A and B are shown apart, each in its own frame.
Chain A
Amino acid sequence: MVRAKIVSKETYVKNGGMKGIFRRSFLGIPYALFLLLFVVFPLLLIVVYAFTDENGAFTFANFVGFFSNATNVSNLFISIGIAFITTAVCLLIAYPVAYILSRFRSARSYILVLLFIAPMWINFVLRAYALREILNLLGLLGKTNFLNVIVGMVYDFLPFMILPIYTTLIRMDKSLEEASADLGGNGAVTFFKVTLPLSVPGIVSGAMMVFLPCMSCYVITDTFGNSKIPLIGKLIETMFGRASDWNMGSAIALIMLVIMFVTMILTGGFKRESTERGNAL
């Protein structure tokens, strides 16, 4: 038997023939197409409509028209106001709930969390109508429109606030709270100086998931507010529907987009800093 000695070793590359024909980045083509068709193109359409008149000529008239109409501007502020109040109420309810849930260590806590987020899986319109009937039974429907809208909004958006806060709280290193107690902090000190600051990222993402959709969620104002509380979203619907003024509708949609974008950047900048700190764990 002859024993061969290895003189040199070279790694044999099998995919040599494929070079130039297939690249991994090709896998992204379907997604790029999807984005172009359903995100970029519609956005461009909105921009085009917003800056043109019914004859297709370039104009700022749509924006001037929106801001020179006092009702429109007040609707914008009402929308922001309702979104703000809803977010605040959601936070006040959600934080204690998330905090208590995060303290349960047993398997039962999952069931509790599930109960709180289960409404998210039930049809939104169905839930809204069920709550409406309850308000009707209590004799509140049609009387306390503003309150009803807030109740409806909070009921609808609460799970979106609980979940991110709960997630931040259970991921928090428990030894940080022990360290605070060890250094002389009682329950309140530990909560306000350690737990609360460290759960800010959860609060921010929860607030964003509530505040932004709130501004345009006119189904709720229609259902609970007797259509008496005008939301900016409702205005857009009217422009595209009954009024069939697509140019004005697009302009309002664009204004909303800018407001959301600015809010995102403001809170997003805040969030990035807090998660960076959170990563220090």
Chain B
Amino acid sequence: MEEMTKETPLAPAENDCIIELVDLTRVFEDDGMVAVDNVNLKVKKGQFVTFLGPSGCGKTTTLRMIAGFDKPTSGKILLNGKDISALPPHKRPVNTVFQRYALFPHLNVYDNVAFGLKLKKVKVTYETENGRQFTKVEKLSKADIAEKVNRALKIVDLEGFERRSVSTLSGGQQQRVAIARAIVNEPEILLLDEPLGALDLKMRKDMQLELKEMHKKLGITFIYVTHDQEEALTMSDTIGVMKDGEIQQEGTPLDIYNEPVNAFVADFIGESNIFSGTMTGKRKVRFLNKTFDCVDDFEKNEKVDVVVRPEDVVFADEGQGQVDGTIVSSIFKGVHYEMVCKIGKTEVVAQDTLERKVGEKVSVVIRPEDIHIMAKEFTVNKYEGYITKHNTVAFGDGEFACDLTQLYENSFLDEEGYLITAEGEKLDLTDTDVEVEVGLKDIELVDVDTPEREGGAAGNIVSIIYKGDHYQVIVRTDENEEDYVCDTEYTWNENDRVSVVIPRDAIRLRLKEEVKR
């Protein structure tokens, strides 16, 4: 594809950023959902960039905004330094490979691929006999189109399929037509929206390599969207891990795998052990009831999340390593064994080619550089609420019984339920705004249908992260999408409907401002 590289001249080094997202935000009007929240990203020319995240994280919406199908609520999309966010899709020099291919069913393979070329206009410079030059804007000639289409079909290995109806093609062949249809226009950026999602595993693996190969050959920028972490790690130069409309981490596959910035990224990118730990000194962290040396520096006594990849957990004979435990499960996974070692109440997952039998006593060794420490994202649930009648407080889409006497020292409640301060003043706190704090361990989740255990709020479980000896579960309410983050030992499933029960004394209140008396 000589010509393709020729037409996109290499930009000078200081201006090698082809696309830049600036404070990009998209709020859906009908339900007010923030799909993309203040995303900032620079993409270098010729790179293979991947947006990676679970469904609903905003990755596809971001891609659709770059393509022009979706308008940003605020923020800018700069292409070569120029804001293109107001341009309609047909005027943008980008092409998209759609999730379900979106091939035109009424056209054959050739006409599908030629669709964009037939609409293209080029400036042609002519010279008259007396040497004068003039330019004309005209359509591509039939021969030019045929040549380009054939070349694109050759790249995707579909020569001889020109006259075939797209409905007679297999999924993988349709995928190739979709790619040919996009690259034949020689776009500056190729956008790919989960292009391999509909293919079976083997075909997907083959196409991953082919796409990577194509990226090298064409030299154009690829922006790729996927929820498959392995796909992202295999293909990308840069990965942006997204969650809830925000980019959690941006970096090379190696960086993201080895140095995840938070528990979400660690959990999403590959398997990992996530433990709750505490910094006990300079480059020393305590978890698994043992102090380990590490290479990250955090404040002393800070609560942290400790991430250790299963392949970095090494077993030694009992008493020979840092902390002892017992193997409770061992599964052969083809190349390695996946083993679980129980240390106290905590489980540690390890991968090794050497098997340790179930029941065997072992000792765990973790090298300091394999211990990744991240600031604990979440230590307490905070809400804004207000006091309702009868000593209850409303927050987080619910209403809970609480102890109001904590608001004033030495106060107590009279028989009617009014608060009497130490000075003997009677206060009516109804509708008073308060700040509410609830500890992660203080929240109890019960099945919504459990009789007589009606919680103050109800919602669906939206996330579960295993942290060695407990699960960190996030419950999201329906109405205002308030989150309750709680640590629990019980196993729940995503999308389970649960009631949130908080004991009266576990709700900590603080007045937002001094109450007017």
Q: Footprint of B on A, CB under 8 Å?
A: 173, 175-176, 178-186, 189, 193-194, 197-198, 274, 276-281
Known: A179-B104, A181-B69, A198-B104. 10 other contacts (CB 8 A): A173-B100, A175-B98, A183-B90, A184-B119, A185-B119, A186-B88, A193-B115, A197-B106, A278-B105, A279-B105
Q: A175-B102, A280-B103 are in contact. Are A183 and B167 (CB under 8 A)?
A: no
> Does B363 reach chain A (CB closer than 8 Å)?
no
Q: Are B167 and A178 in contact (CB under 8 A)?
A: no
Residues of A within 8 A of B119 (CB): 183-185, 189
> From B169, which residue of chain A is reached at the shortest CB distance?
A280
Chain B residue total in the interface (Cβ 8 A): 27
Q: Are B67 and A182 in contact (CB under 8 A)?
A: yes
> From A182, which residue of chain B is reached at the shortest CB distance?
B96
> Does B95 reach chain A (CB closer than 8 Å)?
yes
> Does B116 reach chain A (CB closer than 8 Å)?
yes
Residues of B within 8 A of A175 (CB): 98-100, 102
Q: Are A178 and B95 in contact (CB under 8 A)?
A: no
Q: Are A277 and B181 in contact (CB under 8 A)?
A: no
Q: Kindly identify which residue among B69, B94, B95, B105 contacts A281, using a CB–CB cutoff of 8 Å.
A: B105
**Which residues between 135 and 183 of chain B lie within 8 Å of chain A, taking CB atoms?**
165-167, 181-182
Residue among A178, A194, A278, A279 having the largest count of chain B Cβ atoms under 10 Å: A178
Majority-rule SS of A interface residues: helix
> Does B68 reach chain A (CB closer than 8 Å)?
yes
Q: Are B102 and A179 in contact (CB under 8 A)?
A: yes
Q: Are A173 and B104 in contact (CB under 8 A)?
A: no
A-B contact pairs, 30 of them (CB 8 A): A173-B100, A178-B67, A178-B89, A178-B102, A179-B104, A180-B104, A180-B115, A181-B88, A182-B69, A182-B89, A182-B182, A183-B95, A183-B119, A183-B181, A183-B185, A184-B119, A185-B115, A185-B119, A186-B90, A189-B119, A193-B115, A197-B106, A198-B105, A198-B106, A277-B165, A277-B167, A279-B105, A280-B103, A280-B105, A280-B166
Q: Are A277 and B185 in contact (CB under 8 A)?
A: no
Q: Are A182 and B90 in contact (CB under 8 A)?
A: yes
Docked complex Cα distance between A186 and B89 (Å)? 9
CB distance from B163 to the nearest CB of A (A): 14
**Which residues between 168 and 204 of chain B lie within 8 Å of chain A, taking CB atoms?**
181-182, 185
Docked complex Cα distance between A274 and B96 (Å)? 26
Residue among B69, B102, B181 having the largest count of chain A Cβ atoms under 10 Å: B102
Docked complex Cα distance between A53 and B99 (Å)? 68
CB distance from B81 to the nearest CB of A (A): 22
Q: Are B98 and A181 in contact (CB under 8 A)?
A: no
Q: Are B167 and A184 in contact (CB under 8 A)?
A: no
Q: Are A176 and B120 in contact (CB under 8 A)?
A: no
Docked complex Cα distance between A279 and B165 (Å)? 11
Docked complex Cα distance between A175 and B100 (Å)? 8
Number of inter-chain CB pairs below 8 Å? 78
Docked complex Cα distance between A276 and B119 (Å)? 27
CB distance from A171 to the nearest CB of B (A): 12
Residue among B68, B100, B115 having the largest count of chain A Cβ atoms under 10 Å: B115
Residues of B within 8 A of A194 (CB): 104
Docked complex Cα distance between A276 and B165 (Å)? 10
Residues of B within 8 A of A198 (CB): 104-106
Q: Are A182 and B105 in contact (CB under 8 A)?
A: no
Q: Are B98 and A277 in contact (CB under 8 A)?
A: no
Docked complex Cα distance between A107 and B202 (Å)? 42
CB distance from B276 to the nearest CB of A (A): 45
CB distance from A103 to the nearest CB of B (A): 15
Q: Give the 9 A-B CB pairs with smallest separation, nearest first.
A: A280-B167, A280-B105, A183-B116, A175-B102, A181-B89, A179-B102, A184-B119, A182-B96, A197-B106
Residues of A within 8 A of B68 (CB): 181-182
Q: Kindly identify which residue among A176, A186, A197, A279 contacts B102, using a CB–CB cutoff of 8 Å.
A: A176
CB distance from B14 to the nearest CB of A (A): 31
Q: A183-B181, A277-B165, A280-B165 are in contact. Are A178 and B98 (CB under 8 A)?
A: yes
CB distance from A125 to the nearest CB of B (A): 42
Docked complex Cα distance between A276 and B102 (Å)? 16
Docked complex Cα distance between A186 and B67 (Å)? 14
Docked complex Cα distance between A274 and B165 (Å)? 12
Residues of B within 8 A of A280 (CB): 103, 105, 165-167
Docked complex Cα distance between A182 and B182 (Å)? 9
**Which residues between 18 and 76 of chain B lie within 8 Å of chain A, taking CB atoms?**
67-69
**Which residues between 70 and 123 of chain B lie within 8 Å of chain A, taking CB atoms?**
88-90, 94-96, 98-100, 102-106, 115-116, 119-120
CB distance from B192 to the nearest CB of A (A): 12
Docked complex Cα distance between A175 and B185 (Å)? 18
CB distance from B146 to the nearest CB of A (A): 17
Docked complex Cα distance between A278 and B106 (Å)? 7
Q: Are A184 and B100 in contact (CB under 8 A)?
A: no
> From B108, which residue of chain A is reached at the shortest CB distance?
A277
Q: Kindly identify which residue among A184, A197, A274, A279 contacts B116, using a CB–CB cutoff of 8 Å.
A: A184
Docked complex Cα distance between A133 and B95 (Å)? 58
CB distance from A182 to the nearest CB of B (A): 5
Chain B 420-449 interface 0/1 with A at a Cβ cutoff of 8 Å (1 = within): 000000000000000000000000000000
Q: Kindly identify which residue among B104, B165, B166, B185 contacts A184, using a CB–CB cutoff of 8 Å.
A: B185
CB distance from B126 to the nearest CB of A (A): 24
Residues of A within 8 A of B120 (CB): 184
Q: Are B102 and A277 in contact (CB under 8 A)?
A: no
> From B111, which residue of chain A is reached at the shortest CB distance?
A193
Q: Are B115 and A183 in contact (CB under 8 A)?
A: yes
CB distance from B98 to the nearest CB of A (A): 5
Docked complex Cα distance between A278 and B88 (Å)? 27
Residues of A within 8 A of B69 (CB): 178, 181-182
CB distance from A141 to the nearest CB of B (A): 46
> From A176, which residue of chain B is reached at the shortest CB distance?
B102
**Which residues between 403 and 423 of chain B lie within 8 Å of chain A, taking CB atoms?**
none
> From A279, which residue of chain B is reached at the shortest CB distance?
B167
CB distance from A273 to the nearest CB of B (A): 10
Residues of B within 8 A of A189 (CB): 119
Docked complex Cα distance between A274 and B98 (Å)? 23
Docked complex Cα distance between A176 and B69 (Å)? 12
> From B114, which residue of chain A is reached at the shortest CB distance?
A183
Residue among B94, B167, B182 having the largest count of chain A Cβ atoms under 10 Å: B167
Residues of B within 8 A of A180 (CB): 104, 115
CB distance from A9 to the nearest CB of B (A): 31
Docked complex Cα distance between A198 and B105 (Å)? 8
Docked complex Cα distance between A181 and B98 (Å)? 13
Residues of A within 8 A of B89 (CB): 178, 181-182
